[in-house]
Amino acid sequence: MRDASARLTRRAFLRGAAVLSFGLATAPRLLRAGAAATPFTPSALLSIETDDTVRIVMPHADLGSGIYTGLAQVLAEELDADWERVVTVHLDSLHDDLKHPQWGVIATGASTSVASQWQNLRETGASARAMLVAAAADAWGVSPASLVTRDSTITDPASGRQARYGELTAAAARRTPPAAVTLKDRSQFTLIGRSLPRLDRHTKSDGSAVFGIDVQLPELRHAAIAHAPAFGGKLASYDGDAARAMPDVEAVVAIPTGVAVVARSWWQAKRALETLDIRWEDGAFAHKSSADLWREYETLAASDGPSFEQRGTLDFDAASAVVEGEMRFPFLAHAPMEPLNATARVDGERCEIWAGTQFQGIDVANLAAATGIAAEHITIHTQWLGGSFGRRAAPHADFLVEAAQVAQTSGLPHPVKLLWQREDDVRGGLYRPMALHRWKIGLDGDGRPAHWRHRVVCASISKGTPFESAFYVDGFDRLSIEGLIHTHYAGSNVDFQLHTPTHPVSVCWLRGEADTHTAPVVEGIVNRLARRAGADPFAYRRALLGDEPGTARTRGVLDALEHAANWAEPPPDGIFRGMAVHTSFGSVCGFVVELARRDQTLAFHKVTAAFDCGVVINPDAVRAQVASSVAFALSMALGQEITIEQGRAVQGNFNDYPVATLAQVPDVDVHLVDTGLDHPTGVGEVPVSPFLPALAAAVEAATGREVDRWPLRLDGYTIANV
Amino acid sequence: MGRKLTVNGAVHDVDVAGDTPLLWVLRDTLGLTGTKYGCGIMACGACTVLVDGAATRTCALPLDAIGEQQQVTTIEGLAGTSRDPVQKAWAELSVAQCGYCQSGMIMSVVALLAEHPDPSDAQIAAGVTNLCRCGTYQQVRRAIRRAAEATRDA
Ligand code: FES
Ligand code: FES
C-alpha cells in the first residue's frame, strides 16, 4: 500500500536507547515499573503510551489558527494513529527535535508552522509506525510488509492476529529506527484533508484553557509596570515610599524599561503603581509628532534612494502616458486580546518562565543576557496565548525579560506574574511600521506598465535584532519590501528603491507583515491601471502575468475567484465591486468585495475568497482563517492607526484603537483552490493583505475616489452593520 | 471586613476592598480564571459574566456594586460543552481560535438567547458587542444559530 518513494529521514533522528533515557520532561510515568510500562518515545515530538495515548509535543505555538490540530493530523496520518487517542501538549523543553526545521531554533512565525513541519512530522510518524510494525512482525514471525496498520492497531491479515500500539511500546522502543521511510501517497490520506474538529474546542469553550495570564503557582505574586511614556525616554527618578506602605505591596523596583510594583494581587499592584511619583527623562523624540514623521518620509520619497530591484532603463518620455501616485500606511499595534504577561521565578542560578510566546528558542537567549543566568538553567513553560499576530514573537523578548527582571530585582523567592495593562501594549511600540509608497509609471500603448519607478519609505524591522542577518538580503530588509520585490506585474524597466528611516518608535512584524502595505499598493496600482485602460481587472492581470510557470498558481486563483464570484455577470444595481489577488508566505489568495454605499457609509453585500495554500490539512480550519483574516484586515482598513504626539502614542485602548465588531464583519464565501502543489504553504497571515486592496477597489468603484491612505476613516468612510 | 459574594451558586466570604473590580475578585481572589481581562475599560467584553442573568462587564465594576443576594455566573458555572447548548455549539463548530475572548462571548450569547430564543441578525449584532481580535465572528454567528435551534428543540 505504501508508495514506492522511500525517503531518507531528515536526519537520523532516532537514537534508540539513548533517546529513551532522557525522554520528555513532561512524559508522565504511567506505570511504576517493568518493561511493559515503557512508553515508546522515538522523538521529543512523540510518545506512545501503554494505554494507547498518542502524545504529540507541539513544536510551534498555536496563535489561534488551529495548528495544534493540523500538526497532529499530519503526524497521526503517517503513524496511522487512532485520532480519538491523540493528545497535543505544549512544548516544555528546548530539545533539538522541536526546532523549526528551516530556522534551526524553536520559534513560530511567518505562517510556516505546518509548511515547515510537513516533512518532519510525517517522517516522525512513519518512522514510529515502522518500528511498531517491525516489533509486531518479530513477535509473530512474519514479514513487516505483510502487516497493515489502522487506528493504532496492527493486523496480520493472514492470521487475523491484532495488536494495539500500546501493547508494543516496549518492543518498539528496542528497535533500531529505519534509515529510510516510505511516506503515503496523497490518495492514501485518511486524516489529512479532513475537517476534524479542533482538539482544543472543549477547553476553549468552558474556560478551562490556561493562558499565560491564568497561571497559578504557590505563593504567586503579581506585578504591574509603568513604562516611559515617550519613545526614546527613560526613567529619571521615582519615589516609591507611598506605594511600599500600601497593604499587600511587597516590592517597588526599577528595571531598565520601567518601574514595577509587586503585590499580592494585580489590582493592588496597579493601584499602588498609580501612586508612584515617577519622573521620566524624555529624549529628543519627545518633540516629534506623526506630522513631523510624515514630512520626513515625504522628503525621502521625493528623492532617489538605494535600488533593491533595477533593470532596463526608465524613460518616461518614451511612455504613451505617465501615472503617479502614493499611498500611506500608519503604525499599527497588534493588540492581542490577552494583554502581554509572563510569570517568572528567579532564584539564584535558575530562571523559570510561564508564558505564551512564539519564540522560546530566542527568548532563552534574551533571558540569559538580561538576567546573567546561563541559558541551560532557564526553562520556559509554554502556555496558551490569547492572540499574538506577531507580538509574542518579540525580538528582544521584552515582556518575558521584564518579568524575569522584576522577579530578580525584587529579590522575592516567589514567582511573579507581570501583567501589562492594555495601554502598555497599545502605546508600547513594536508596531507594524508606518510606510509611504510613491510611484511613477510610464505606460505602453496598451496601458501596461513599461517604466516603473517606485520608492518605499519604511523603517527596518530586523535591524539590530537577532534576525538582521536572516532578513537583510543585499543590503535591504526584506521585511520592508516583500510583496513588491519581483512583482510579476512590472514590465522590463523598473527601479524600485527603499529608504530606511530610523526613529525610536520600535517596529515589528504584524500579521501579514510587509504585504499589509505592499499588497494594497501593488494591487491598487494594477486596479487603477486596468480601469484607466478600460480593461476588466481579471483580464488585465492575466495579460500582465502572461503564461510564465511562476504565475500559474496566481492564474489558477484568478480563474477560481472569477468563477466563484460570478464576475462575468454585472453586479446588481447599486452594488460596487473590486478584486485583488496576492502571493505571500508561499500561498495565493484573492478576494472579490461587493459593497453598497450610502453617502460615506459602506455596507458589505458579499465577500468571496479563493485561496491556494497547497495541500490543505484541515479545510474548515483554513476557511475559518480566511474569514477571520477578513475581520482582522477590516480593523486595519477602517479605523486603526497609532499616531504620535509629543513623542508618545496617542491611542491606548480599544476605545480609540477600534477592533471591527461582529456587526461590521461580513461572512466570507471561501473557495479552496488546488493547483496541484504537493505540500502545504502558509495560511494564517496570507488572506489579510489581499483583502485590503479588494476592499479599496470596491470603495473606489463606489465613490469614484482613489484610496491613497489608510485607515479609511481618515476619508470619512464607515462600515454599516451587517 | 469580609462580605458575601455568590458565584455559580456557591457563597464565598471575600475580604477585599469594595472598590476592587469584580473581575479581579473572580480571578485573583476566587481563582476563577475563565473570565478574562482584555481592556479594563468596559470596551471589549472579555470580562463578561452574568449578574442575575444579565450579561455584565466586570473589569470596571466595583465589588460594592454587587448586592450580597445577587447571583454571579461565570463560564465555570455553565453546564459544559456536552450539556450547555451554547458551549456545545461552540465546541461542535470549533469557534474558538486563540480562545481568549470566548468566555465573555459565550456569556453574552447565553444572555442573548435567554432574552431572544430565536434572535434576528439585528438582535445578534446588537446583543453581541464583544470584541474578538482573532475575528471569529462568522463562526460565532453560526454557533448562535445552532445553539438557538438546539434550545428550541430541547
Ligand atoms: S476587560 Fe472588561 S470589557 Fe474589556
Ligand atoms: S478567539 Fe482570539 S480573540 Fe476571539
**DSSP letter string over A582-626?**
EEETTEEEEEEEEEEEETTEEEEEEEEEEEE-BS-S-HHHHHHHH
Distance CA A389, CA B119 (A): 32
- Tell which of B48, B77, B106 closes a domain: B77
Residues B88 and B71 both lie in one domain: no
Helix (H) or strand (E) holding A406: helix A398-410
Profile chain A (722 residues) by mean pLDDT over runs of 10 residues.
Answer: 36 28 30 57 92 91 88 96 96 78 74 79 96 97 97 97 96 94 95 97 97 97 98 96 96 97 97 97 95 98 98 97 98 98 94 93 92 95 95 92 97 96 97 98 97 98 90 95 96 97 97 96 98 98 94 97 98 96 97 94 96 97 98 97 98 98 97 94 95 98 96 92 73
CATH number at residue B61: 3.10.20.30
Q: Compute the distance between CA of residue A276 and CA of residue A294 in angstroms, rounded to an integer.
A: 35
**Among A556, A660, A637, A567, CA closest to A608:** A567
pLDDT at A20: 27
Reading the block at residue A47, the C-alpha cell is 510518545
The confidence score (pLDDT) of residue A92 equals: 78
Residue A29: the pLDDT is 32
Q: In terms of domains, do B21 and B73 share one?
A: yes
B54 with B99, same domain: the answer is: no
pLDDT of the residue at A7 = 39
CA distances from A10 to A6, A163, A179 (A): 12, 29, 10
Pairing label, strands A350-355, A378-382:
parallel
CA angle (B43, A280, A509) in 5-degree steps? 55
| A27 CB-near residues (< 8 Å, 6+ apart) | A39, A41, A47, A55
Q: Which of A215, A388, A662 to mutate to test the interface with B (most CBs of B within 10 A)?
A: A662
Looking at the fold, whether B51 and B110 belong to one and the same domain comes out as no
User: Is A205 within 8 Å of B137 when comparing Cβ atoms?
Assistant: no
Closest residue CA from atom 3 of ligand 1: B42
Given a contact cutoff of 8 angstroms between Cβ atoms, the answer to whether A322 and A442 are in contact is yes
Q: How far is the CA of A337 from the centre of ligand 1 (A)?
A: 10
Q: Where are the beta strands (DSSP E) in A426-548?
A: 435-443, 449-458, 472-473, 476-477, 493-499
Residue B93, pLDDT > 90, answer yes
Q: What is the pLDDT of residue A721?
A: 80
| Residue A553: predicted pLDDT | 96
Give the CATH number of domain A4-205; options: 2.40.180.10, 3.40.140.10, 3.90.25.10, 3.30.365.10: 3.30.365.10
Q: Which residues pair with A186 in a beta bridge?
A: none
Atom of ligand 2 nearest to the CA of B135: 4
Which CATH class, in words, describes the domain spanning A292-318+431-720? alpha beta
Q: Is any ligand 2 atom within 6 A of the Cβ of residue A387? A: yes
CB within 6 Å of ligand 1 — which residues?
Answer: B 37-40, 42-47, 57, 59
Say what the pLDDT of residue A111 is: 66
Q: What are the distances in angstroms from CA A97 to CA A93, A251, A285, A341, B102?
A: 10, 40, 45, 27, 33
What is the four-CA torsion angle of A111, A115, A117, A120, rounded to 10 degrees? -160
d(CA A191, CA A641): 42
Judgement on whether residues B109 and B133 belong to the same structural domain of the protein: yes
Ligand nearest to the CA of A659: 2
Separation in Å, CA A547 to CA A531, A550, A553, A584: 22, 8, 11, 20
| Same domain? B19 vs B73 | yes
Question: What does CATH list as the number for A212-283+340-419?
Answer: 3.30.365.10
Q: Which residue of B57, B94, B107, B144 to mutate against A (max A Cβ within 10 Å)?
A: B94
d(CA A519, CA A482): 9
Q: Residue B143: give its domain's CATH number.
A: 1.10.150.120
Tell me the HSE value of B61 on the side-chain side, using a 13 A CA sphere.
Answer: 22
The tally of domains found in chain B comes to: 2
SS3 A318: helix
**Cα A652 to Cα A654: distance, rounded to the nearest angstrom:** 7
Are residues B102 and B37 part of one domain? no
Position of cell 470596571? B60
Which residue, of B49, B77, B105, is where some domain finishes? B77
Phi/psi region, residue B144 (left: phi>0; alpha: psi -120 to 50; beta: rest), is alpha
Q: Comparing C-alpha atoms, which of A480, A473, A488, A494 is closest to residue A526? A: A488
Report pLDDT for A65. Answer: 86
Helical (H) or strand (E) element with A164: strand A162-164
Which of B22, B43, B77 terminates a domain? The answer is: B77
Task: Report residue A425 as a C-alpha cell.
Answer: 501594549
Q: Are residues B7 and B73 in the same domain?
A: yes
Structural domain harbouring B111? 84-153
Closest CA–CA distance from residue A438 to any residue of chain B (Å): 31
What distance in Å separates the CA atoms of residue A309 and residue A303, rounded to the nearest whole number? 16
Nearest atom in ligand 2 to the alpha carbon of residue B133 is 3
Atom of ligand 2 nearest to the CA of B98: 2
Give the number of other Cβ atoms within 10 Å of residue A473's Cβ. 12
